[in-house]
Amino acid sequence: MNCHRVTRTESPLIQALTKRYQKGEPMPWRRVHSLPDHVYFDHRPHVGAGIVCQTCHGEIQSLAVVGQHMSMRMGACLSCHRKPGDALPKGSKIARGPEHCYACHR
């Protein structure tokens, strides 16, 4: 709900999601990105670094249904971690993301 408290709140689907969340009801979930069990991904460091959702998810603000936009292969992640380029906001003090195994493998 971090995103949908403020994003597309007029959408009937998001309103239904909000109601379920507020009632504490479980959400039937359709996975968009599937990662192997040994891979760990956390949105928090990416959001905290100022990386916008569109970097990995595409132009989600204009999509009716979200789909997979980016390859979820290790090479795609490492290439961004090594050369984040436009993924980071201007003036960011972050030069690159972590490349050690434990950053993504648990």
Domain boundaries, the chain: 1-30, 31-103
Instruction: Look up residue 93 and give its amino acid.
Output: K
Q: Give this prediction's pTM.
A: 0.70
Per-residue tokens: 72: 């979820």
Q: CA torsion sign, 95 to 99 to 102 to 106?
A: positive
What proportions of the chain, in percent to the nearest 5, are helix, strand and coil? 40, 0, 60
Residue 84, burial from CB neighbour count under 10 angstroms (0-12, 13-18, 19+): middle
CB atoms within 10 A of CB 105: 11
Taking a C-beta distance cutoff of 8 angstroms, is the pair 32, 68 a contact?
A: yes
Cα–chain-centroid distance for residue 83? 18
The pLDDT value given to residue 78: 94
Per-residue pLDDT of the chain (106 residues; tens, 9 = 90+): 777 777 778 888 889 889 999 999 988 777 777 888 899 888 889 989 999 888 888 888 888 777 788 888 899 899 999 999 889 999 999 999 999 999 999 8
